[in-house]
Amino acid sequence: MRRRGFPTSRNASSHPRLGLLTSKSGPGSLFATSIDNAAMLALEEINAEGGIHGSPVELIVGDDATDPQTGVMEARRLVQAGCRTILVAATSATYTAVAEALSDAPVLLVQPVMNEGGRGDRLRLQLGERPDDQLAAAVKPLMRMEGVRRWFLAGDDYCWPRTTHGLARQLLPRYGAGVVGEEFASLGTRDFAPIIESIQKSGADIVLSTFVGADAVAFERQCYAMGLRDQCITLAPALEESTLTYIGDEAARGLYSVSGYFQGLQTEGNASLLKRYRAQFGPWAPPLSTLSESVFEAVHIWWQAARKAEDSERIAAAMRHGEFQLPRGTVTLSEDRLRQQLHLTKATGTELYPALG
């Protein structure tokens, strides 16, 4: 368990407190340092601008250990510590469990990272990429570019992968493609040989991989070691730079992703962000990715609302609408959805580059 910033007493400070619930241990911990860094950078920037009504915001970080029930316990500790907004930068399984556990609490929950949606209400806001948008942006151009059409669906066994697979089954026949197999594995699985053997026997020429974190690393390394790269390419919507760093150059061959942000995105806002990030955390800090950069943006969006509204409901209402110029470009918030441009990218070494030129 790796928490940070928890006060010894709820009344130890009169400063506003922002909670961050993320996975600092367990399979999702690959992203934790980058997410933590992005949140701290955003916090320093908003405090340099006066914080909330002249009072600096304190960041309190909880660790869900990539486990929903642990996430619930940590979220309750964040509430007890005085957090009235919690950014849940963890799996949708954790977000769902926390949303249910805190259903009667006057606490705003924001899920900045990619998610399947469907759980928004007056105090619940889901901002990240949605699988229907990701698939719509990636499937047709990838099939045209690579000439593939026999899909095998493989991923971790929780709500986001299952929703993504269901949407893929609906979309693929429209493009003359089909699903030749599907497998799920529990979070924390390390031996993927049985799944990879099923893929090899299925005749698939593309894998939709919805493994996350350390599971994605183990799966992709084993795919490479077992020769699957000679048969299949892979579309992995949750693939980002921190994961690629652990997969390694050779094993990343044939991997594609789709997201609203990647570190090499050519915008003025991103160039400025990367410069500030490296100046703050050094050249060897973990890369920014769509998961961490979305947390940076969520802190700034929350701050803009919290400066004008007093309670959680009004902050949530203010966050639901508006157009923002962010490092990833122009995004529009409408009700419970973030409208943004999505990019199909291809892994080259440990970086993601535009796949469509």
Average pLDDT of the chain to the nearest whole number? 94
Residues in the chain: 357
pLDDT of residue 357: 67
**Full DSSP string of 197-221:** HHHHHHT-SEEEEE--HHHHHHHHH
pLDDT of residue 65: 97
Beta strands 351-354 and 343-348, pairing class: antiparallel
pLDDT of residue 98: 98
Answer whether residue 232 shows pLDDT above 70. yes
Q: Where are the domains of the chain?
A: 17-129+266-338, 131-263+343-354
The answer to whether residues 189 and 154 touch, using CB atoms and an 8 Å cutoff, is: no
Beta strands 321-326 and 329-334, pairing class: antiparallel
Answer whether residue 19 shows pLDDT above 90. yes
CA torsion through residues 350, 354, 259, 166, sign: negative
Answer whether residue 71 shows pLDDT above 90. yes
Answer whether residue 10 shows pLDDT above 90. no
The answer to whether residues 178 and 150 touch, using CB atoms and an 8 Å cutoff, is: yes
pLDDT one-digit tens code per residue, 128-182: 999 999 999 999 999 999 999 999 999 999 999 999 999 999 999 999 999 999 9
What is the DSSP code (8-state) at residue 75? H
CATH of region 17-129+266-338: 3.40.50.2300
pLDDT of residue 2: 60
pLDDT of residue 69: 98
pLDDT of residue 242: 95
| Backbone phi and psi for residue 301, each to the nearest 5 degrees, phi listed first | -65, -45
What is the DSSP code (8-state) at residue 130? -
Q: Which residues contact 264 (CB under 8 A, 6 or more apart)?
A: 351, 352, 353
Distance CA 163, CA 208 (A): 13
pLDDT of residue 14: 76
Distance CA 216, CA 322 (A): 35
Confidence class for position 119, pLDDT limits 50, 70, 90? low
Q: Classify residue 15 as exposed, middle or buried by CB count within 10 Å of its CB (0-12, 13-18, 19+).
A: middle
- Residue type (1 letter), 345: T
pLDDT of residue 11: 52
Confidence class for position 117, pLDDT limits 50, 70, 90? confident
Closest by CA position to 116, among listed 336, 294, 340: 336
| Mean pLDDT of the region 10-14 | 60
- Helix 193-202 vs helix 213-225: crossing angle, to nearest 10: 60
pLDDT of residue 31: 92
pLDDT of residue 338: 84
Confidence class for position 334, pLDDT limits 50, 70, 90? confident
The answer to whether the 17-129+266-338 and 131-263+343-354 domains have the same CATH topology is: yes
Distances (CA, A) of 136 to 51, 130, 131, 139: 39, 10, 8, 6
Residue 6: enclosing H or E segment and its boundaries? Answer: none
First to last CA, the chain: 43
CA torsion through residues 204, 205, 208, 212, sign: positive
| Backbone phi and psi for residue 185, each to the nearest 5 degrees, phi listed first | -135, 150
Confidence class for position 304, pLDDT limits 50, 70, 90? very high
Distance CA 295, CA 34 (A): 10
At the topology level of CATH, where does 131-263+343-354 sit? Rossmann fold (3.40.50)
Give percent above pLDDT 70 in the chain.
Answer: 95
Give percent above pLDDT 90 in the chain.
Answer: 89
Answer whether residue 323 shows pLDDT above 70. yes
